[in-house]
Structure 1
Amino acid sequence: MSKETVSNPNIYPYNVFVDKIEKSLFFRSITVLYGNNASGKSTLLNIIANKLQIEGYEYATCNKYGITPYFTKFVDECSYSLGEDEHGRQIGRLPQRSRYIKSEDILYEIKKIQQEQVLGDGYIYEHIRRGMNKEQIERLKNSDKMRKQMEILKFAQEKYSNGETTLQMLDDYIETDALYLLDEPEVSLSPANQTLLAEKINEMSRFLGCQFIISTHSPFMLATLDAKIYNLDSRELEVVKWADLENVRYFYDFFQRHKKEFEYQIKRSIPMIER
């Protein structure tokens, strides 16, 4: 991250990281950026996406304090190294399929699947994104292939819950040997599906050669991911164990306070044995 300072302490994104002592992060195959609201985890993901020019990055403006593009200035002041491959050679460039997937992207995809009138537009857009030219797109619009795909999407619209749609969307988007920045991917997922998603990410990292940088404060994701965890709530950006995090400890303490209620329900569910 940028080590520079600005005179006005309220300028974004300098104000987000002004109190951080550590300014360097080292990423593993799966790295988690943990933090409570306003900790800067989503901001940091977007800074990384902008610096690497990954598909999905968003430009952030800060015009309140004059004409200086402070977000761009901050990004320019950041530096990075891609590290080495398994043979010890310097990596020259990012995989072209790398992508920044934000929580609002996931919610948009869910909304898109729930609206029949935009199913076709979404299907066409995905083919444009993959490089199909204008002539090919026109042929696709009038093809049996598209009509059949629309039927499948309509069926999926009725069949899948929001959580299942999220899991299916990520399955469709993730390709081999690429870097993915995921901003709170657990949005709309039940605890069981959050755990399933984390297990999928572990498998994609291990077997597909993908690297993930994920922002989350979900205890189910944190507990399941085979990840290095940075605590953005700490001044030192400490690397921590999931069970030591404030949000996780809150869950633990909450259920400990209600432990007797769980024990009572367990006793009620045990059948009586007659002598």
Structure 2
Amino acid sequence: MKYLLSFKLSGERLEESCPHIYPYSVFRGKDPEPFVFSDITVLYGNNGSGKSTILNIIANKLELKGREHVTANGLGRIDYTLKYNNECAYDLGVDENSGLSFHEIPRNSMYIKSEDILYEIKKIQQRDVLSSDMLYYNMKQGKNRKEAERYLSSAEGKKRLVEKIFAQEKYSNGETALQILNDLITPDALFLLDEPEVSLSPANQVTMAEEINKMARFLGCQFIIATHSPFLLGTLNAKIYNLDTCDYRVSKWYDLENVRYFYDFFQKRKDFLNNR
């Protein structure tokens, strides 16, 4: 389902004396046509290509949950971020069931960043680990297990756990990231995903990409994904915009620089791999 049909970045240009004003500076020397989205669309590009910036611009223009409110940069009295967003334009898609144009983006649509997932992982893992720690500590102080569990369930125990959760740091894992992503994505909505592969092994990246394919096909979801992961690029049934080109041209996944780099890397070492 295509809730967002197209998006046009601002075509305005600032004076040459203002080359570093964000977000205009990100798109200097670029001349893209409007993005025309599929059920799954990928914004590919190396670091600094602007793919995350574009996702946040779209999220702010559509007022999606999870958007980052970038403030004015203090150069004079102009809020250049707001100015740029106001200069962007978009078109909504058509409901495939009724044939009528959408009047708004579904309310459960979201902009999900990799750091959002990592933050949720940290909270979950801290809660599990610290809860066990507190249980052990109370039993060590002479309480039996039932008494210790009763304390953890009390208002005082819950308060102590919350205090500990945000006082320590634990590590995350890919399986939890996959579960959180699955929990956040609901049917019939638009989702902007910014580098969702962060913290995932190659196998889990492929698993996630396969799930996204299924969600787009069977659950009525639309995805716009910023990534340079060859595992996502080679698995997603996606339209791919190459942000490393001046015109943001549509490209095949196997022609992209990052994918070719991986291919060349293993080709040079194929004798080692073939001898295993």
TM over 0.5, yes or no?
Answer: yes
Superposed CA deviations along residues 99-156 of structure 1, whole A, max 9, x for unmatched, are: 0001110111111112128999xxxxxxxxxxxxxxxxxxxxx89xxx9xx9xxxxxx
- For normalisation by structure 1, the TM-score amounts to 0.79
Matched ranges for 1:247-262 at <5 A:
247-262=258-273
Check if 1:56 corresponds to 2:66: yes
Please report how far the alpha carbon of residue 83 of structure 1 lies from its aligned counterpart in structure 2 after TM superposition: 2.1
List runs of 5+ in structure 1 lacking aligned partners.
121-141, 151-159, 266-275
Q: Which has a greater percent of helix?
A: 1
Residue matched to 2:77: 67
Identity of aligned residues (%): 62
For 2:241, the aligned partner's letter is Y
Residue matched to 1:169: 180
**Distance change (3 Å), C-alpha of 1:117 and 1:257:** closer
RMSD between superposed Cα atoms in Å: 2.3
List runs of 5+ in structure 2 lacking aligned partners.
1-8, 132-152, 162-170
Please report how far the alpha carbon of residue 22 of structure 1 lies from its aligned counterpart in structure 2 after TM superposition: 1.4
Matched ranges for 1:87-236 at <5 A:
87-116=98-127, 162-236=173-247
For 1:193, the aligned partner's letter is N
For 1:170, the aligned partner's letter is L
Q: Distance in 2 between matches of 1:118 and 1:176?
A: 32
Instruction: Report the 3-state secondary structure (helix = DSSP H, G, I; strand = E; otherwise coil) of the residue aligned with 1:115.
Output: helix
Residue matched to 1:39: 49
- For normalisation by structure 2, the TM-score amounts to 0.79
Instruction: Report the 3-state secondary structure (helix = DSSP H, G, I; strand = E; otherwise coil) of the residue aligned with 2:241.
Output: strand
Q: Distance in 2 between matches of 1:161 and 1:58?
A: 23
Contact (CA 8 Å) 2:125, 2:172: kept in 1 or not? no
Q: Which has a greater percent of strand?
A: 2
Instruction: Report the 3-state secondary structure (helix = DSSP H, G, I; strand = E; otherwise coil) of the residue aligned with 2:234.
Output: helix
Instruction: Report the 3-state secondary structure (helix = DSSP H, G, I; strand = E; otherwise coil) of the residue aligned with 2:200.
Output: coil
Please report how far the alpha carbon of residue 38 of structure 1 lies from its aligned counterpart in structure 2 after TM superposition: 0.4
Q: Distance in 2 between matches of 1:188 and 1:54?
A: 24
Q: Distance in 1 between matches of 2:86 and 2:172?
A: 41
Residue matched to 1:10: 20
Contact (CA 8 Å) 1:230, 1:240: kept in 2 or not? yes
Contact (CA 8 Å) 1:96, 1:178: kept in 2 or not? yes
Superposed CA deviations along residues 45-93 of structure 1, whole A, max 9, x for unmatched, are: 0000000000000111342422311111100100100022224321111
Q: Distance in 2 between matches of 1:114 and 1:66?
A: 45
